[in-house]
């Protein structure tokens, strides 16, 4: 990791901080690569139960991609860029463990794409969400990124955000279902959320994420392997006995 993308293990959570506050945490290509590596790390470590994403400085979660990197772009460069973003967001969306986005300030462009891949999102009252490319750069989004925004906000709201370059404030994002909570004390809210998620049954959480991914692909879903893996697990058998004997359950993910 670079100084612009910080990682820290706190308990069962891997915290990733986008750390360019002077640039409102605008993403460089190296930061995108670091994010993908963090995703692989959290899935590879059984002791890690949650991935937490946050921006430094209090002004922004992520204010898109660093615009300086677009100088001299050609149409082919644009194709490669959007392909790379699709790959990174695909890795983030494929993380088996719960992903929490803690959003303070602006969540713009590529930052909104990142937040849309999280499973749970909590924000401060001053958070805002936008993709103002129709009045800034005049670029576009890949169909895959657009699909993620539609799933997160719904098609009518996504269209209005993009076509009119308008911002969605925290309350509208909460009412739309994009946010789980808007909290004055964002640190406390985030810590409570991480604790709740980290204390859950790992295989249950994996199964929900996996079947949601399959549902998003469309068509009928064959979930027999997922159901079998959960009901046939050591955790499920132990949890049944713990529940009946009224004793605490310690999840192992096996």
DSSP notation for 5-54:
EEEEEETTEEEEEE--GGGTTPBPHHHHHHHHHHHHHHHH-TT--EEEEE
Whether the predicted pLDDT of 241 surpasses 60: yes
Whether the predicted pLDDT of 68 surpasses 60: yes
8-59 pLDDT, tens per residue? 999 999 999 999 999 999 999 999 999 999 999 999 999 999 999 999 999 9
CATH 3.90.226.10 describes domain 5-198: yes
So what's the pLDDT on residue 140? 94
Residue pair 8/51 in contact (Cβ under 8 Å)? The answer is no
pTM > 0.75: yes
So what's the pLDDT on residue 59? 95
123-138 pLDDT, tens per residue? 999 999 999 999 999 9
Question: Could you tell me where the beta strands, DSSP code E, fall in the chain?
Answer: 5-10, 13-18, 50-55, 60-63, 99-103, 106-108, 120-123, 128-130, 168-169, 181-182
So what's the pLDDT on residue 69? 85
pLDDT band at 214 (very low <50, low <70, confident <90, very high): very high
- Among 34-48, 58-72, 177-191, name the one with the lowest average pLDDT: 58-72
In the chain, domain spans: 5-198, 202-245
Q: What number of CA atoms fall less than 13 Å from residue 29's CA on the CB side?
A: 8
So what's the pLDDT on residue 217? 85
Question: Length of the chain in residues, anyone?
Answer: 254
Residue pair 153/175 in contact (Cβ under 8 Å)? The answer is no
The percentage of residues in the chain with a pLDDT greater than 90, rounded to a whole number, is 94
Q: Is the pLDDT higher at 69 or at 109?
A: 109
> How far apart are alpha carbons 58 and 106 in whole angstroms?
9
Mean pLDDT of 225-237: 97
So what's the pLDDT on residue 1? 53
């Amino acid at each position: 990791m670079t100084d612009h993308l910080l990682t820290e293990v706190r308990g069962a959570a891997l915290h990733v901080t986008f750390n360019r506050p002077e640039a409102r945490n605008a993403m460089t290509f190296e930061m995108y690569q670091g994010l993908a590596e963090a995703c692989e790390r959290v899935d590879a470590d059984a002791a890690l139960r949650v991935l937490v994403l946050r921006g430094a400085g209090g002004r922004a979660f992520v204010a898109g991609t660093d615009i300086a990197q677009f100088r001299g772009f050609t149409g082919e460069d644009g194709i490669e860029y959007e392909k790379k973003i699709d790959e990174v967001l695909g890795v983030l969306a494929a993380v088996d463990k719960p992903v929490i986005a803690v959003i303070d300030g602006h969540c713009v462009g590529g930052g909104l794409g990142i937040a849309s891949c999280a499973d749970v999102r909590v924000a401060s009252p001053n958070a805002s969400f936008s993709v103002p490319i129709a009045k800034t750069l005049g670029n576009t989004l890949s169909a895959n990124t657009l699909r993620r925004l539609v799933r997160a906000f719904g098609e009518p709201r996504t269209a209005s955000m993009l076509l009119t370059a308008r911002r969605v404030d925290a309350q509208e994002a909460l009412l739309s279902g994009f946010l789980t909570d808007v909290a004055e004390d964002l640190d406390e809210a985030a810590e409570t959320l991480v604790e709740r998620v980290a204390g859950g049954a790992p295989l249950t959480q994996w199964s929900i994420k996996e079947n949601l991914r399959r549902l998003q692909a469309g068509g009928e879903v064959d979930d027999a392997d997922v159901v079998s893996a959960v009901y046939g697990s050591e955790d499920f058998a132990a949890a049944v006995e713990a529940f009946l004997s009224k004793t605490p359950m310690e999840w192992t993910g096996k």
